[in-house]
Amino acid sequence: LDPNVPRHIVAHEAIIDPGTAQYVHHFLVYGYAQRDCEDGGGLVMSWAPGRMAVTMPPEAGIRIFGHGGYKSFHIQTHYSNPNGDSGMRDSSGFRLFHTTRLRAHDIGVIQIGDPLLFLGLGGAQLARGWSKHAFECEGLT
């Protein structure tokens, strides 16, 4: 693909290796303004089991290449292997559908959250394996 020709991603889907599907927990796809994935990037797409292919609305797409578009991507594949199985090789991936016919609008992603969220545990960390914590709000009855 010519990196000087702007395009829009108009759909994306996960391709899951049937031999390792039980271990694939989710994908995170990050986009970068530089070709070397060195500029900090940002979350662009994600997938988790049960999610079907995503098609963008006809008036919008995710801009790649050209001026202002993402120049490179990296994908993080997160696995769940509670039994510690070994010897697997996963070839799952992510398929992007794109066009040179640019749509009227560029799609963006907003991430909301506090990476320094205080859990009210007095500075302690959640025990290994915990995924939840019951909170009590002081002053509320």
Q: What is the pLDDT of residues 95-134, one digit of tens each?
A: 999 999 999 999 988 776 655 555 555 666 666 665 565 6
Residue of 11, 4, 25, 135 lying closest to 71 (CA atoms) = 4
A 10 A CB-CB count for 46 gives 17
* DSSP string of 23-73, one letter each residue: TEEEEEEEEESSTTS-S--EEEEEE-TT---EE--TTEEEEESSTTSB-EE
| pLDDT given at position 38 | 80
pLDDT of 47 strictly over 80: yes
What's the whole-number mean pLDDT along residues 69-91? 94
